[in-house]
Amino acid sequence: MRQNIRTLLLLSLVFAHVFTGQAQFSLQGYSTGVTGGISESARYKTEISTNEAGVRPRGENYSFYLGLAAANLESAIVSVTATNSSDAIITEDTDAYLLRIRPSGNYDTLGRVNSNAGGEFDFASVFHGNYLVVVDSDPQKYVPTYYGNSFLWNEADILVLAKDTLTEITVNSKPRELTSNDGDGLVRGTIEEDFKDSEDGRIDARRRAAKKKCGLRKRRRGGRTDQDEDEYELIAYGETNSNGEFEYGFLPEGTYRFFVEYPGIPMNESSFVQFDVGEAGVSDNEFVLAAVVTEDGITVELILGITDEVFTNFNIYPNPTLGKISIDFSEIVVQDLTMEVIDMNGRTIVSRKVENNENKRLEIDLSSQPTGQYILKFYDNAKSKTALTFRVIKN
């Protein structure tokens, strides 16, 4: 017989990890929520939130590990069938994952089921709750796909688990490889992670993110100009290499949106996530992107070129801005350099030479300009080419 999790906790708690704080309190009247584990032998983590006054402030959370078997908790079976676009069950080696949605909105990956015989899976003894389900098969043929048949976590359907459930996912096919006949656009760059340590709040050093899923969507022909109404199709998909680098080439002319897949962490839509191949002011249709993932979101910056080849200790801030932008540096490496600011109509609104006697700072004032996006470009006059390009946002 299934038992209510709160009642069970009040009667028979077995702590595998002891709380080390000084607060003393009773579990009577405390709310609980299990946030991990799917197997019979796993240890399960629960968050216990105080609803009563005590040594600790009201509403503070405490975490314990509970040595309880899944059979004693309210649970269910999740059965997943993965099919291709022809509605046939996938026969390739395939993985399926469950991601539990935490109260904070983030996700815990609770388990993986592998099937080397095709796309049919069972997750046993899964706690009741809200989940994302994702299927990942042959990367040469398919794109990881969520319940609801989306390749993006924020567009996936949520599985509300309250009983044994059967689900079917139609796995998206990988886009065809582009060739030189398609176009000459190139998007490459890096993905870095910048997270706090979960135990002590310490900020870890920013590090490159290997094997992270990312890709490009292209606006369909005939799509509306209003971004909220646009329809985009997947045109390139892959993952970063061991150094956190990605590259997509032979892109045809059009409007693109770049995305990085971190379930529970949204893209910062005000950063450089959308761009046009062939856009005025950007040379050679080459875009170098730098994506940084934090707990708050994924921010993407456009970096056309390598800053150390133009400036040393380069920093641009604030971006977005309400008007004024500062650019700090220690030294200008390129001797004959011009700085330009170009609006999205291709009109140059700022153009000036940059000298080494600039007191190690450049100032740009966009206060009189309308809100929107601008291109900040540094041009190497000696080599007759763009050395650096950044996207600037005026709020």
Token digits of residue 8: 């069970």
Task: Tell me: pLDDT of 216 over 60.
Answer: yes
Task: Tell me: pLDDT of 195 over 60.
Answer: yes
Task: Tell me: pLDDT of 40 over 60.
Answer: no
Query: Among all chains, which residue has been given the structure tokens 């005025």?
Result: 280
Q: What local confidence, expressed as pLDDT, does residue 52 receive?
A: 33
Higher pLDDT among residues 281 and 275, named by residue: 275
Q: What residue type is assigned to position 144 of the chain?
A: P
Query: 28-37, 110-119, 279-288 — which one is most confidently predicted on average?
Result: 110-119
At residue 221 the predicted structure's pLDDT band, cuts being 50, 70 and 90, is low
The values of phi and psi at residue 47, to 5°, are -100, 125
Q: What local confidence, expressed as pLDDT, does residue 215 receive?
A: 97
Q: What is the CA radius of gyration of the chain?
A: 26
Q: What local confidence, expressed as pLDDT, does residue 286 receive?
A: 78
204 torsion bin: left (phi>0), alpha (psi -120 to 50), beta (else): beta
Question: What whole-number percentage of the chain has pLDDT above 90?
Answer: 36
- Give tens-digit pLDDT for 3-26: 333 323 332 233 333 333 333 333
Mean pLDDT of 104-130: 80
Sheet (strand 372-380) strand order? 348-354, 337-343, 372-380, 385-394
What gap in Å lies between CA 172 and CA 141, rounded to an integer?
9
Q: What residue type is assigned to position 51 of the chain?
A: N
What gap in Å lies between CA 294 and CA 99, rounded to an integer?
19
DSSP 97-139: EEEEEPTTS-EEEEEEEEETT-SEEEEEEEESEEEEEEEE--T
Mean pLDDT of 148-174: 94
Task: Tell me: pLDDT of 68 over 70.
Answer: no
Higher pLDDT among residues 241 and 57, named by residue: 241
The values of phi and psi at residue 363, to 5°, are -120, 135
Task: Tell me: pLDDT of 29 over 50.
Answer: no
Task: Tell me: pLDDT of 64 over 50.
Answer: no
Higher pLDDT among residues 168 and 319, named by residue: 168
Token digits of residue 327: 């650019």
Token digits of residue 270: 């005000």
Task: Tell me: pLDDT of 365 over 50.
Answer: yes
CB 295 within 8 A of CB 330: no
Please provide the average confidence, as pLDDT, over all residues in the chain.
Answer: 76
Q: What local confidence, expressed as pLDDT, does residue 268 receive?
A: 87
Q: What local confidence, expressed as pLDDT, does residue 314 receive?
A: 81
Q: How far is CA 121 from CA 106, 117, 316, in A?
A: 24, 10, 49
Q: What local confidence, expressed as pLDDT, does residue 47 receive?
A: 38
User: What structural domains does the chain harbor?
Assistant: 5-70 (no CATH), 75-170 (2.60.40.10), 185-302 (2.60.40.180), 307-394 (2.60.40.10)
Q: Could you give the dihedral angle defined by the CA atoms of residues 138, 140, 146 and 151, in that order, rounded to the nearest 10 degrees? A: 170
Q: What local confidence, expressed as pLDDT, does residue 254 receive?
A: 87
Q: What local confidence, expressed as pLDDT, does residue 183 receive?
A: 87
Task: Tell me: pLDDT of 66 over 80.
Answer: no
Token digits of residue 95: 């993985």
Task: Tell me: pLDDT of 312 over 70.
Answer: yes
Q: How many CA atoms lie within 13 A of 42 on its CB side?
A: 19
At residue 197 the predicted structure's pLDDT band, cuts being 50, 70 and 90, is low
